[in-house]
Structure 1
Amino acid sequence: MSGVKYALVTGCGKGGIGEALVAEYTRRGIHAIATVLPQEASGHLSDAGITFFPLDVTVEKSVVELKASVQELTGGRLDILVNCAGIAYTMTAIDTDVAEVQRMFDVNVFGPIRMVHHFHDMLIRAEGTILNIGSIGGIIPYLYGSSYNATKAALQHWSSTLRVEMAPLNVNVITIISGEVGTNILKSDAHRQIPEDSYYSPLADDFQRHVTRVPQGATDRFKYASNVVATSLKQSPPAWFWYGSATGMIRFLDTFCWRTVWDWMLWKWFNLKALQKAHATRMAKEQAPRD
C-alpha cells in the first residue's frame, strides 16, 4: 500500500477539466480522488471506477469532512492536490453584481486557500505537489471577464507566494496558466444580458454572442489533462506551466511588451469603436440645448 500514490482533484463535474484530470491520473496508475458538489451528478465518475467524495469548497465543514475521508483512504498522506474547482461570471465591470462576484471569489480563490489550509500536513508528509489551475484571464484584461480575471490573478499571485513558502517543506507548487480549453464552464453564463440602461447596451448583441459562443480552436480537455498531469509528476516541475489555446502568444507578449499592449488588441476584438461612437451620440443628445 505504501507504493500507492494519491491525487486529489476538486471540481470534477461532467464535461470539465477536473474530470479529464482524474481520468489521466488513473490512466497513469495513480489513485485519483475526485470531488463533486453534494447535489451534482457523479455517474460519470462511478462508471469510470474513480473514487469520489462530495465537496463544496465554500463550506468549511465540507472541507473538514473531506479531509477525514481522504485521511482514512490514504493513511494520512497526499501526493498531489489539484485545486481545479471554479466558476465563471461574465459581465461588464460597471454592471457587475457584487454578490455574484463574492460567490465566485469564494469558490475560485478562498476555495483553494481552504483546501491548502486543511490538507497541507498531508502534502508535507508526502513531500507532495500542489497544482493551482489559473488562466490567461489572470494575465490579460479580457473584456466582460473583469471579475473572473481578478479571481485568477489573485489565485496566481497567492500560488506564487505559496510556492516560496512551501519550498523549505519540500512541497512543489505549480501554477497552471490555462488557455481556452473545451469545457462547459460557460453554460451558467449563457442567460446573461447587458442591462438595457447600461452604457454598454449598444454592444448587447455582441455580448449575447460572446456568452453563447462555442469556442473555436479551444484545446481538447483530455489533451490538456495529459500535459498538465505529466508536468505535475516531474521531479523538478516548473513554477508556472502555460498550456492551452493562445498561451504561446500571450506569454510572449506579456514577457516582452508594454503593459497596455492588450488595450488596442481588445479594442478591435470587442468592437469598442462602435461603443465609442454610440456613446458620443448619446452624450451629444443629452447635451443638446432644449427649446
Structure 2
Amino acid sequence: MVVMTGETRFALVTGCGRGGIGEALVKEYARRGVHPIATVLPHENSDHLTEAGIAFFPLDVTVEKSVLELKASVQKLTGGRLDILVNCAGIAYTMTAIDTDVEAVKRMFDINVFGPMRMVKHFHPMIIAAKGAIVNIGSIGGIIPFLYGCSPSPLGNTLRVEMKPFDVKVITVISGEVSTNILKSDAHRTLPEGSFYTPIAKNFEQHVNRTPGKCSSAHYLDGATDRFQYASNVVNMSLRSAPPAWFWYGSFTVMTRFLDTFGWRTVWDTIMWNMFGLQKLKVAHQGQVKRGI
C-alpha cells in the first residue's frame, strides 16, 4: 500500500500491455521513485503489472466514458494532481497507401490521434495543478515516408505553446525502431488481391512479420533499441525541469534527424526506393504493361 503525500509524484501511462513500451515506462518510473499508474484495455491481461506491484486501471482511449471513469479513479488515487501523462497507447496499421482500408485507418487515428486528445481534454486540470508534463510518444514514421504505413503523430507544437502559460511542459518523443510487440495485430496482414504491389508481396510479408530487435533478412530492420533502454531515456527526459520540445531516441533517429534537418525534401525517395526494392516493382509493372496485363 503506497502512502500518498504531497511529495509523491504520479505518472499515468496509457497502453501498458505486456511486451510494449508502456510496460517498460511504468516499470522505469517505479524504479525512479515515481508512483506509476498504468492502463490496459478492459479485456487485456494484466498479470505482468500485478507481478510488478504497479497500480493499473482499464482504459479504452476511443471511448469517452472509459476515459472519464479513469479520470475519477486517478483523482481519487492522487488527490487531484498528475505530474506526468504519457500518451503511449497506439496501434500499427501496415498497408500500401493505394490499398488502404479507410475504416482501419479511422480506427488507428481514433487510438493514435484522438485518444491522446481525449486524455489531454479530461486530464489537463490535474496536470496544470501539478505544473506537470505531457509526453506524447511519436515515431520517425511520422517524419519520413516509410513504405507500407504512415504513423499519425499525437499532439505536438500547438499544445506545447498553449500549455506554457500554465507551466506545463509538453514533450514529443520521436521514436526510432524499438523492440516491442506493436506489430502483433499486423502479423497476418496481406496485400489485397490484384494489388499493384503484388510483384513484391514477399517483401511486404517480411515487413509485417518482422520482430523489431531481432535479425531479419532485411538489414535495415536489425538493431532495434531495447524497450527498457528506451524507457530509461524517455523517463529521464520527462523528469527534467526543462526538457526539449522534441526528444529523438531509438535506432535510426540520428540519421533521420540529420537528413530531415539538412537534406532536401525528396531525400527519402531514393532511400525508400532502395530500401524496399521498388526497382523490382517498376520492372515488373513495365513488363505487365508490355504484355497488356
Q: TM-score, normalised by structure 1?
A: 0.95
Match of 1:77 in 2: 81
Q: Secondary structure at the match of 1:286?
A: coil
Identity %: 69
Counterpart CA distance in 2 for 1:143 and 1:186 is 15
Match of 2:45 in 1: 41
Match of 2:237 in 1: 231
What are the residue-to-residue correspondences of 1:1-291 with 2, within 5 Å?
1-146=5-150, 149=151, 151-152=152-153, 155=154, 158-215=155-212, 216-286=222-292
Match of 2:216 in 1: none
CA offset at residue 196 of structure 1?
A: 2.5
Q: TM-score, normalised by structure 2?
A: 0.94
Q: Secondary structure at the match of 2:178?
A: coil
Counterpart CA distance in 2 for 1:78 and 1:23 is 17
Counterpart CA distance in 1 for 2:116 and 2:224 is 25
CA deviations over 1:57-89 (Å, ceiling 9, x no partner) = 000000000000000000000000000000000
Q: Secondary structure at the match of 2:37?
A: strand
Counterpart CA distance in 1 for 2:187 and 2:288 is 28
Q: Secondary structure at the match of 1:252?
A: helix
* Paired residues of 2:181 and 2:211 also in contact (CA < 8 A): no
Counterpart CA distance in 2 for 1:270 and 1:48 is 40
What stretches of structure 2 of length at least 5 have no aligned partner?
213-221
Question: Structure 1 or 2: larger helix share?
Answer: 1
CA deviations over 1:108-151 (Å, ceiling 9, x no partner) = 000000000000000000000000000000100000013xx2x1
Counterpart CA distance in 2 for 1:281 and 1:12 is 48
Counterpart CA distance in 2 for 1:187 and 1:31 is 29
Aligned pairs, number? 280
Give the counterpart letter for 1:47 in structure 2: E
CA offset at residue 265 of structure 1?
A: 0.6
Q: Secondary structure at the match of 2:136?
A: strand
Q: Secondary structure at the match of 1:140?
A: coil
Q: Secondary structure at the match of 2:25?
A: helix
What stretches of structure 1 of length at least 5 have no aligned partner?
none
Give the counterpart letter for 1:186 in structure 2: L
CA offset at residue 25 of structure 1?
A: 0.2
CA offset at residue 228 of structure 1?
A: 0.3
Give the counterpart letter for 1:239 in structure 2: A
CA offset at residue 214 of structure 1?
A: 2.4
Counterpart CA distance in 2 for 1:278 and 1:32 is 53
